[in-house]
A = this chain, B = another copy of it.
Amino acid sequence: MPGMHENQDRSISINWMPDRASGVPLYSQIVSYFSEKISRGEWMSGQNIPSQRRLSELFGVNRSTIVEAMDELAAMGLIEGCFGRGTRIANDSWASLIQVKSPNWKSYITAGGFRSNIPMVQIINRLEFEEGITRMSTGELSPDLVQAELTQKALDNLSEHKLFMNYPDPLGMPDLRRAVQAHLSRSGINVPISCILIVSGALQALQLISNGIVQSRSTVYVEEPSYLRSLNIFQSVGATLTSVPMDKNGIQPWMIHNQPREGTYSLLYTIPTYQNPTGVVMPESRRLEVLKYCSEQHMPIIEDDVFCDLWLDAPPPPPMKAADESGGVVYIGSLSKCFSPGLRLGWLVGPEPVVDRLADIKMQTDYGVSVLTQQVVAELLNSGIYYQGLNSVREQLRRRRDLMLSLLEEFFGDLAEWNRPAGGFFVWVRLKNQVSAERVFNLALKEKLLVPPGNIYDPLYTSHMRLTYGYLSMEEMSRSMRRLAEIVRSLR
């Protein structure tokens, strides 16, 4: 019967079981499995999902676990259906087309070399755009802190010049690179503009490095824990991330034991200032030690310094790049964290052959950054409007940080330990009694509080959460911190 056949064709196929030994709740593993299959396009909208009884057999779990997982997936908008009539992968307008005789896009989508984002991170990225969600861990400025009015002011200034609207120079517009050069010299970095490459934010800088100077089988050493673990950038080209222990002064590369394999290359990736997610600041002495060690090992350093302008108590020590005599440091900066993420503008500073190689890739990737944005940012830096904005951002962030610390004191005094951040956005919270941050995440999500578990930054950190004070209003912060403490308390 054609009807039967069509029905079989349109059911998802499952050959996977949750791992009871992993420590991750079973229901959460099922949610991750479904969302990964859907996000990779392996399961398409409109496909049928087996009955709950069948799922419970297939996965070898209780019916209640299936109910919990399906509720979650429905809440995320990934599945839909009337019970009794069956559940399906959520519908969209294209679902009907795909039945006709289109190419088998599914095979194409899974064929590309680029990895999808890590499933948990994909879920979080999607939840961030959900109506009514409280983003307790978002590492960016809240909409009211983003400097839209000052950008408008820079735009108004621009109208006095003639706009340049052609293809930009591969490295970026010379005027902007001169403005960035002057900006960098404030923190002791003195380089010719031929060593500066304008990029669409720090993420693109990392992507260019990944495509241009990292080979498959390379080792990228990262802090334990590190923000880089929540991305797939270097893994997508076949490199391995290896954690390096930190102490209160930051990363300790001399603790690296497993040397990279013969014939492969390694790099060190570090955020020395207001590290993500721990907030740690490397003092100057440690910076020089790391620089010396890596220089002796001929190991390049990627210095990700996107938070440096967000100091709250006192300016941080100069970047490693300022003391980099051997040219081993590639330095990354951006306006996204401290002024406006929407501008999508940052810079990469490195030796000329490296910058030229990455510029060639950038040209092959997107022909450079919007010249409109480049001209606005040059104006922001040259006019001093950027620094005016920074002062007001810092003042607001200081108040929010102080509120966050007092809320932690008030509600989490007996539940957790945390650092006092001197800048940036991050409070790295360790839950006492080994309370599972993933369970907190799941429970909090039911109340629309988004608190990703610390293990997205390193598998070891199962009782940690990264909280931020930059994104929520003071009122939201007070309300959500009180509620989060109740959830954590319920799990002890």
Chain A contacts to B: CB under 8 angstroms: 39-41, 44-45, 92-94, 97-98, 100-109, 111-114, 116-117, 122, 125, 129, 140, 143, 146-149, 151-152, 155-156, 158-159, 162-170, 192, 194-195, 200-201, 203-204, 207, 210-216, 218, 231-233, 236-238, 265, 267, 295-296, 298-300, 325-328, 336, 340-345, 351-354, 356-357, 360-361, 363-373, 376
Contacts and interface: CB of A to CB of B under 8 A. Distances in A.
B45 A116 contact: no
B300 A103 contact: yes
How many copies of this chain? 2
A165 B146 contact: yes
A101 B298 contact: yes
A103 B353 contact: no
Contact of A341 (B155, B166, B352): B166
A27 to B, nearest CB: 24
Contacts of A237: 112-113
Contacts of A341: 165-167, 367
Closest 9 CB pairs of A and B: A342-B371, A111-B215, A108-B213, A114-B211, A165-B340, A200-B366, A41-B353, A112-B212, A97-B327
A365 B231 CA distance: 10
Contact of A92 (B113, B328, B352): B352
A315 B98 CA distance: 31
Which of A204, A345, A361, A370 counts the most B-chain CB atoms under 10 A from its CB?
A370
B352 A203 contact: no
A194 B93 contact: yes
A45 B356 CA distance: 12
28 contacts: A39-B360, A44-B353, A45-B352, A93-B192, A93-B352, A94-B351, A97-B351, A100-B326, A100-B327, A101-B296, A102-B326, A102-B327, A103-B298, A105-B351, A105-B353, A111-B213, A111-B215, A112-B213, A114-B212, A148-B162, A207-B364, A233-B364, A336-B367, A342-B370, A343-B370, A343-B372, A344-B368, A366-B366
